[in-house]
């Protein structure tokens, strides 16, 4: 356990002051074994925090410090001009659901449908397993690692969408909060003041019993045998989407019909139409 000792003025923002001092290394760090939780001590107050809360606060301070040393480099290519030049708009289609729900199979078919005639659009699939071979190979399956896994892929998907590409992600993404963060990231105002990019949440819904019967990778069997800890649907929770744009019941829907359902929604929203031509300022 750790004891952080420092002096700070009483009143508003005491925790932030402490963390700023911590980050700037103007503190004393002493190892203690008598406290069950990390303790922050100041001259005139005593505060106990869980490590999770403390780490979130510390991360916020570190992030602010990093941001103070970087500057966003804008481009004269506004989102409207880029979409006009590429003749399509970007968005992210976020498939979520249990393992063996059919997310990846649907994503593969959807990518093919959008790339080929009659649409001929630029689309790219980001698969949960594939990403762990590279970008996220340093992450496990703890709640914290799952959160970071989704944060990273949300950022990558947003870059694809910002480039006027259709990003198709297929991740279990079991926690509602993480999916909400991904949505907020996409829908946030862009650096140039333009509106964000569309985010389409697709819940590939399947009863866990059906997923276990499918079990193409044998993961549910291993999880039930205790060989895979923190497996979603068995020993870890899956928080169902509350208001997904699209709800696919994969036990009753073929892959072809699932793709049609998604494409129909995209067409109704106008996402597959070529954007209007934009005349650039000379």
Catalytic residues: 173
CA angle 183, 99, 128 (to 5 degrees): 55
Return the sign of the alpha-carbon dihedral for residues 224, 228, 233, 234: positive
Residue 200 DSSP label = E
Check: CB of residue 151 under 8 Å from CB of residue 178. Answer: yes
Rounded Cα distance between 2 and 207, Å, is: 45
Rounded Cα distance between 233 and 250, Å, is: 16
CA 248 from chain centre, in angstroms, equals: 20
Which ranges in 93-142 belong to alpha helices (H)?
103-115, 128-131
> Which residue in the block uniquely carries the two structure tokens 């997923």?
211
């Amino acid at each position: 356990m750790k004891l952080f000792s420092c002096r700070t003025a009483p009143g508003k923002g005491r925790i932030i002051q402490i963390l700023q001092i911590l980050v700037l290394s103007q503190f004393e760090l002493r190892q203690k074994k008598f406290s069950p939780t990390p303790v922050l001590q100041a001259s005139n107050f005593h505060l106990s925090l869980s490590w999770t809360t403390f780490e979130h606060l510390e991360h916020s301070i570190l992030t602010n410090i990093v941001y103070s040393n970087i500057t966003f480099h804008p481009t004269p290519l506004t989102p409207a001009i880029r979409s006009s030049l590429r003749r399509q708009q970007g968005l992210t289609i976020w498939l979520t659901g249990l393992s063996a729900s059919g997310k990846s199979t649907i994503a593969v078919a959807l990518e093919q449908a959008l790339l080929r005639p009659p649409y001929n659009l630029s689309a790219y699939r980001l698969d949960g397993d594939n990403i762990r071979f590279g970008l996220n190979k340093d992450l496990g399956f703890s709640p914290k690692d799952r959160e970071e896994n989704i944060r990273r892929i949300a950022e990558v998907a947003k870059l694809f969408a910002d480039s006027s590409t259709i990003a198709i992600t297929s991740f279990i993404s079991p926690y509602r909060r993480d999916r909400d963060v991904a949505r907020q990231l996409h829908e946030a105002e862009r650096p140039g003041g333009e509106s964000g990019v569309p985010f389409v949440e697709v819940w590939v819904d399947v009863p866990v019993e059906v997923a276990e019967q499918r079990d193409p990778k044998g993961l549910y069997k291993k999880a039930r045998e205790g060989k895979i800890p923190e497996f979603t649907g068995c020993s870890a929770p899956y928080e169902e989407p509350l208001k997904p744009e699209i709800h696919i019941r994969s036990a009753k829907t073929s892959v072809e019909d699932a793709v049609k359902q998604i494409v129909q929604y995209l067409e109704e929203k106008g996402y597959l139409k070529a954007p209007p031509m934009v005349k650039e300022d000379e």
